[in-house]
Amino acid sequence: MQNRTVCRKVSRSSVASRTDLCHEELVVPVQRQHPGRPRTAATAAASAAAVALLLGACATGTGGEGQAADVDFSATPSPGSSLDVMGFGTGDEVGKVRHDRAVEALGVDVRLSEGALDPQAFLSAAASGNPPDLIYADRTQIGTFASRGAILPLSACIEAQGIDTDAYVDSALAQVTFDGEVYGIPEFNQIQVTMANADLLADAGLDISAVDGSDPDAALAAAEAMTRSDGGRLSVIGFDSKLPEFLPLWAKGRGADLLSADGRTAQLDDPEVVTALEKAVAVYDAQGGFPAVKTYRDSADFFGAGNQFATGTLGAMPMEQWYVNVLNESSPEAPMAFGPFRGTDGEVLSFATGSAWAVPADADDPATACAYAARMTETDAWMAAAQARADARAADGLVFTGVLTGNEEADARIREELVPAEAPQPWADAIDAVYAANDHAFTLPANPADNEFKQAWQDAVNRVLNGQQEPAEALAQAQQEAQSALDEAWQKWDERADGSAGQDAQ
């Protein structure tokens, strides 16, 4: 079986929060990358620290917002000119179709540096005054890049290209808006839904509502009911709460945010965050502890026909929507059940991440870069790409489950015009769950210390999972670490912004 969609290739040392940075559509990652193998807590902490150090050391004061006023984003690209793009590749139909459309429309030679964006390489290039014309970044990086002056604010770009920001998913646009200014053109949305083995649920006298997050105590009871051991060794994981990466989801399910809306105040020691962590960890404790669950989970054939759902060795978990297609391709006959994740108030909820286009300060051709990003994210481009994906799925005898683009208008049209209205079960439920989750997504606000902030709360969760600290103690430590990093980063930004304002006044 040939996978038609390729996840963006990501160094195992650069990603702590997800199994891989897949396109935020429902996609099938290439198996050679083994993105389903979680890293150890020590590796996650070391890599996050390394990223934080490089972000602090590179590209400070390269002058982004001041230079934006000098850029004519309405300038027409010169025929035959070139555009250097870092962090983007055309490994699947959705990327290639949009790229080819943009190249044809602009008449320029676009040179792609494929593979996930390397922050160190980019910031080093920016600091030396030799950046690419355009970068394709994780949206969580935008606040840090903006605060370092490494990328340009894009209000003028948006106006010049007639980009309708109202068409974007609100949470996606918020994630690239730093201190009131848009610094990125968002695309894709990666969200979570609840996935379960229907047979294991039925054998326990349960349905999907027992494991959808709305009642953490019910999820714990479900875990206990579905967990099995053989000779003292775990043989069935009843429920996987997907820590550490999904702490923001479990906290939001209790009405708590890890970070204030303005991105300045950590809220990791909020009592509801502490309770969310306690209950998510209790699920692992009931199954012999996180190390036992992780060891068994890591042994699974995550992307193959022998995955945990197909073999009946996993009851349920929240998971990113691209895994729906993994299951549809590798084990279409597996007894699956799907539904949205819900908060304790019963409302649908998802924690969104995604990508964004950003124009570096000192880029040689920012106007063409802006035009390319606009062409890549316009509704017609998404429709052409989704049609190509739907055709490819049909040729393989598979269900087209949609593409979450980050553009509400495109999302609506894709579902109405291309997603089958009467898809077979359980895939119809999966489609409904995915689109419901996309409509109820939240993000963490853009801030200038995202890596340090993420490291603080993920380290805290890992200390709890490894039995080193209790949740309240771990999160209290994380609160101090995160707030210190935020205060330092925001102080530098505020001083920089005040300096720029003073220069403008003169």
Q: Return the biggest CA–CA distance within the chain.
A: 77
In a domain, 41, yes or no: no
The domain that holds 279 is classified in CATH as 3.40.190.10
Nearest to 141 by CA among 162, 120, 163, 114: 120
Residue 506 lies in a domain: no
Same domain, 169 and 74: yes
pLDDT digits (tens, 9 = 90+) for 287-333: 999 999 999 999 999 999 999 999 999 999 999 999 999 999 999 99
Q: What's the pLDDT at 329?
A: 92
What are 172-190's pLDDT values in tens digits?
A: 999 999 999 999 999 999 9
Is residue 243 a contact partner of residue 290, using CB atoms and an 8 Å limit?
Answer: yes
Between CA 474 and CA 463 the distance in angstroms is 7
For residue 407, what pLDDT is reported? 96
Residue 107 shares a structural domain with residue 227: no
On the question of pLDDT at 124 being above 50, the answer is yes
pLDDT at 172: 96
> Over pLDDT 90: what percentage of the chain?
80
Q: Which two tokens stand for residue 158?
A: 């948006």
Share above pLDDT 70 across residues of the chain, in percent, rounded to a whole number? 85
In order, the DSSP letters of 214-271 are S-HHHHHHHHHHH-EEETTEEEEEEE---TTTTHHHHHHTTT--SB-TTS--B-TT-H
If asked whether residues 219 and 342 sit together in one domain, one would say: yes
Give the whole-angstrom CA distance, residue 146 versus residue 154: 11
* Preceding peptide of 471 cis, ω within 30°: no
The three-state secondary structure class of 395 is helix
Question: pLDDT-based confidence at 76, cuts 50/70/90?
Answer: confident
pLDDT (0 to 100) of residue 498: 79
Q: Do 276 and 174 share a structural domain? A: no
Residues 456 and 369 in one domain: no
Residue 26, token pair as written in the block: 């429902």
One domain, residues 264 and 347: yes
211 in any annotated domain: yes
Instruction: Please tell me whether residues 131 and 200 are part of one structural domain.
Output: no
Residue among 103, 62, 96, 100 nearest 82 (CA): 103
Domains in the chain, number: 2
**pLDDT tens for each residue of 15-58:** 233 333 343 333 333 322 333 333 344 444 444 444 444 444 44
- Residue 503: its pLDDT value, please? 55
Residues 274 and 342 grouped into a single domain: yes
For residue 254, give its domain range: 192-351+443-486
Cα–Cα separations (whole angstroms), residue 170 to 71, 283, 437? 27, 33, 13
User: Which tens digit of pLDDT belongs to each residue from 226-240?
Assistant: 999 998 899 999 999
Q: Clarify whether residues 169 and 240 are in a common domain.
A: no
> What predicted TM-score, i.e. pTM, was given to this entire model?
0.86
The secondary element (H helix, E strand) that includes residue 368 is helix 366-377
Instruction: Establish if 37 belongs to a structural domain.
Output: no
SS3 state of residue 129: coil
- 502 domain-assigned: no
User: What whole-number distance in Å separates Cα of residue 378 and Cα of residue 358?
Assistant: 16
Query: Are both 198 and 184 inside the same structural domain?
Result: no
Measured distance CA(421)–CA(424) in Å, rounded: 10
pLDDT per residue over 243-254, tens digit each? 999 999 999 999
- In the predicted structure, residue 67 carries a pLDDT above the cut 70: no
Which of the residue ranges 51-65, 148-162, 197-211, 375-389 would you say has the lowest mean pLDDT? 51-65
pLDDT at 134 exceeding the cut of 50: yes
Least confident of 60-74, 129-143, 472-486: 60-74
The CB density around residue 345, as the number of other CB atoms within 10 Å, is 10
Query: For residue 39, is it within any domain?
Result: no
Output the average pLDDT for the chain.
88
Question: Is 6 part of any domain?
Answer: no
Say if residue 157 is in the same domain as residue 223.
no
Q: Is the domain of 358 the same as that of 331?
A: no
The 3 state secondary structure assigned to 406-471 is: CEHHHHHHHHHHCCCCCCCCCHHHHHHHHHHHHHCEECCCCCCCHHHHHHHHHHHHHHHHCCCCCH
| Residue 438 within any structural domain of the chain | no
Q: What is the pLDDT of residues 361-399, one digit of tens each?
A: 999 999 999 999 999 999 999 999 999 999 999 999 999
Q: Which residues of 252-288 are buried (b: 16+ CB within 10 A; e: fewer)?
A: bbbebbbbeeebbbbbbbbebbbbbbbbbbbbbebbb
